[in-house]
Amino acid sequence: MFKKKKLDFSYKSNNINYSKIKLIKLLNIINSKNIEYIMNLLGNFKTKGAILLKEIIWNAYNNFRRQIESPTKNVYIKNILINKSRSFKKIRPAPQGRANKIKKQLFKIILTLNQEKKKKWDKR
């Protein structure tokens, strides 16, 4: 009689020191997949980004399991966002008394976990 309550869980990780373009390539592969499948897939990649993502997703999954009453294995990534965070600014010396400014951008990732798989036609 009663519908199951859809539970969305958001997890945010700040100040990631890695390229946004390289992260987006990995995120396109793992979007709307099962958590167990993602952990096996990222375990096979040896890049720094895959190791970072695996750690972030594992922490989000553990926090999600603590929040719900009955732990399930059917947890999917509903949405992934990459936003800008703060940036480091420094000056390096250059030839002939000049200086070059360098900006190192940091990013934050926001994951949304859900117990139901996102349908392909769903544009949320």
- Using CA atoms, how far residue 93 sits from 18, 87, 89, 96, 102, in Å, is 24, 20, 14, 9, 11
- In sequence order, the β-bridge partners of residue 12 are 110
Does some domain include residue 3?
no
Give the percent of the chain with pLDDT over 70.
85
CATH number, domain containing residue 84: 3.90.470.10
**pLDDT at res. 71:** 64
pTM of the model: 0.77
Residue 65's pLDDT band, with cuts at 50, 70 and 90, is: confident
Does some domain include residue 63?
yes
Does some domain include residue 2?
no
Does some domain include residue 49?
yes
Does some domain include residue 19?
yes
- Using CA atoms, how far residue 60 sits from 2, 76, 89, in Å, is 28, 11, 31
Q: Whole domain around residue 73: which residue ranges?
A: 9-114
Does some domain include residue 93?
yes
Does some domain include residue 123?
no
**pLDDT at res. 117:** 67
Does some domain include residue 103?
yes
- Using CA atoms, how far residue 105 sits from 4, 24, 26, 66, in Å, is 42, 15, 19, 33
108 token code pair? 């934050």
Q: How many domains does the chain have?
A: 1
